[in-house]
Chains A and B, each alone.
Chain A
Amino acid sequence: MRLVFLGKFGELAPESLHSPALPDGVRTLADLKGWIARQSPPLGRAMALTTTRVAVNQALVRDLSHPVAAGDEIAFLPPMSGG
């Protein structure tokens, strides 16, 4: 799978998290967030401390029980600051 970490998350995410194999026991976005936090506690803390939006295959998904698959592109978005 391909994981994309935007903004400040990108600075915290280790290279090994960019294209991991689907980890054992990870079936949903909530599972994946938990797995990421175990791989990188600083990134897990940053994601827990702010409003983190998640996009699956470039579409925003609110429900963290959404399933994840090996071929997915999943992005983690901190609060946006355009304009």
Chain B
Amino acid sequence: MDIRITAQSFDPSAECAAFMAGRADAGALVSFVGTCRNETAGRAVTRLTIDHYDGFTQKEIARLAGEVAERFAVADLLVIHRVGPIEPGEAIVLVAGLSTHRADAFEAVKVLMDYLKTDAPLWKKETGPDGARWIEPRAEDHARRAAAETST
């Protein structure tokens, strides 16, 4: 498992290529990339800033990824999450999974994303022309998190 918290922008395609390099044992790579949108609910967003708790954030994401790795037959998992200031269009998060067959990698990546939305120690602040506001998980994020607990 490779879990990284970074303040630098990253190239999701290059990271996926490196992640699957030499893994001829895996027949499936599934990746999800979350990017910074330039608007939320009709409000323009000019910058996203993500706060984290140094050390704890990485440890908690590794714990969540470990839970997912135990539930699904994945050969490996990769999580890269940005912190600090992020511009619209940039990647915020990459979650990727390698597995022998596609179903496990699809499920593992989906469930891990659902976990990250509500349980990763990260705090997002959106800034736009009308000011800044801290984001909290939406009801649907909690619903997905609860459903992810039981999905197989």
Contact = CB atoms under 8 A, between A and B. Distances in A.
Interface of A: 4, 6-8, 10, 50, 55, 58, 75, 77-83
A78 B56 contact: no
Contacts of B125: 7-8
A80 B55 contact: no
A83 B59 contact: no
A8 B53 contact: no
Given A79-B136, A81-B137, A7 B56 contact: no
Main secondary structure of the interface of A (DSSP, over half): loop
Interface stretch (B23-31, B68-76, B111-119): B111-119
Contacts of B137: 79-81
Interface residues of B, number: 27
Nearest to B55: A58
A81 B121 contact: no
Contacts of A58: 53, 55-56, 59
Contacts of B14: none
28 contacts: A6-B123, A7-B125, A8-B123, A10-B51, A50-B136, A55-B53, A58-B55, A58-B56, A75-B56, A77-B53, A77-B121, A78-B123, A78-B136, A79-B136, A80-B119, A80-B122, A81-B123, A81-B134, A82-B81, A82-B93, A82-B117, A82-B118, A82-B119, A82-B121, A82-B122, A82-B124, A83-B92, A83-B120
